[in-house]
Structure 1
């Protein structure tokens, strides 16, 4: 475990220990283990641990190209099926003529019901259509209790396979950057093509999020599959670390949301 932990952040250790627990459960019971919905960074951590243990895994989030997915960890004899992931998909019916919904509105309303973020996956919006994924065990609870977003009354309806799902409208381009370090201020300065001090100011003024959490420490170290959002500049992903140059600079492949 120590050899793996050293490659991740100290603050990620509780999640790493949880992931090790999942792996040990599969090894002890020789049966599959299903996780909640994980973000890309959490998926990367679990995948690293599972690969090191010699087990198998697969992921499913309900939508095409989902960001948040449930991982199924299983021994080599097992062949997973879609039903194993226990994902339910819902649409939200709301007065679209009078109300404009945003991702944060739906997210906030779901969490106000006391639901942990790991219990639901992607939230997708297109025109006046809204859809989201949730663990199957909560579908009846949501049907009975998820009836408002802000001041607007809503009604949810579980989707079947005949309903068209909202495709991801996000389009990413890949750009290779050469930077001095993986410090947050250095990466922000590079992707914004701005002076380092301006990046420091943005970070210290709570203008930068890493994995959806505000980070105001310029020295915060980034890693593979971290997502970034810089207020006024857009969203980015650390896709891979490509190695070092002869001058010991770091090559980083970064996804940029168009």
Structure 2
């Protein structure tokens, strides 16, 4: 790997960069398309940057619907014409006794991860407040359908669903702008949720904060474009834009914010 590529990204992103370079090289060598697992927005940004910087390959992202957060990427030679069917994802609706239980994103994801299947095989989890649906990579969909029989103590069933029956998710994201002294994790959380830096540090160090679905215990972790921060009990933040600095060297951010 060219060290010049690494310098544009974080050290902890090097394994993903190496994987992405391998996918790109495979398409170049075999002249055949390659389909990734589900990528989070930050991973998608890195992959797109690598493809655009160093190749004439084409690519397309798809996560089952237009506003999908987690998407698979098809990388292919420029002469190839892809179809939506090639993204190999299955939509399930979770059938459960609505009168006796309330589902949540955390409960659904925890159950899916409890099957032993990697997070990369699951796309978005959607809800309109009543109905719950999830996108799953087709290669593991039958296994997941057989494995998931309960969420908590409640019996459930995963029913394969046509894309035409996709629900309209209840979107609680709002667009906000903040000016912060730095892109440190504790600084951004403190600014967005209007809590002290000390409280922000406590949340991080006690394991209640994830960046791109990975637990981060360092308050000084430096965020970057399209990172998604999950703060237990508070909600989620996405870095949607880096809009320059002020005269006092503060950073202007465009954010997507989901408040609990």
* TM-score > 0.5, shorter chain as reference: yes
Structure 1: gaps of 5 or more residues: none
In 2, distance between residues paired with 1:254 and 1:136?
32
2:227 is equivalent to residue 236 of structure 1: no
Give the equivalent residue in structure 1 for 2:210: 209
Q: Where does structure 1 differ by over 6 angstroms across 4 or more consecutive aligned residues? A: none
In 1, distance between residues paired with 2:125 and 2:174?
22
For the 8 Å contact 2:91–2:163, the answer to whether it is kept is no
In 1, distance between residues paired with 2:212 and 2:176?
19
Give the equivalent residue in structure 2 for 1:32: 33
**Which shifted more, 20-29 or 179-188?**
179-188
Q: 1:204 to 1:156 in 2, by over 3 A?
A: closer
- Superposition RMSD in Å: 2.0
2:12 is equivalent to residue 8 of structure 1: no
In 1, distance between residues paired with 2:78 and 2:232?
45
Give the equivalent residue in structure 2 for 1:58: 60
2:89 is equivalent to residue 90 of structure 1: no
What SS is found at the alignment partner of 2:5? helix
Give the equivalent residue in structure 2 for 1:150: 152
In 2, distance between residues paired with 1:232 and 1:109?
19
For the 8 Å contact 2:127–2:170, the answer to whether it is kept is no
Q: Deviations over 1:49-95 (max 9, x none)?
A: 11112322111111341111111111211121101101111112122
What SS is found at the alignment partner of 1:37? coil
Give the equivalent residue in structure 2 for 1:134: 136
In 1, distance between residues paired with 2:179 and 2:129?
39
Q: Deviations over 1:152-204 (max 9, x none)?
A: 22222211244x21223124333332222211122223223444344333333
Give the equivalent residue in structure 2 for 1:185: 186
In 1, distance between residues paired with 2:106 and 2:195?
29
Q: Deviations over 1:190-248 (max 9, x none)?
A: 22344434433333333433223332312111101111233443321111112223332
What SS is found at the alignment partner of 2:256? strand
In 2, distance between residues paired with 1:212 and 1:2?
26
Give the equivalent residue in structure 2 for 1:105: 107
TM-score by length of 2: 0.90
Q: Kindly tell me the number of residue pairs found equivalent between the two proteins.
A: 257
TM-score by length of 1: 0.91
For the 8 Å contact 1:64–1:168, the answer to whether it is kept is no
Q: 1:197 to 1:102 in 2, by over 3 A?
A: closer
What SS is found at the alignment partner of 2:241? strand
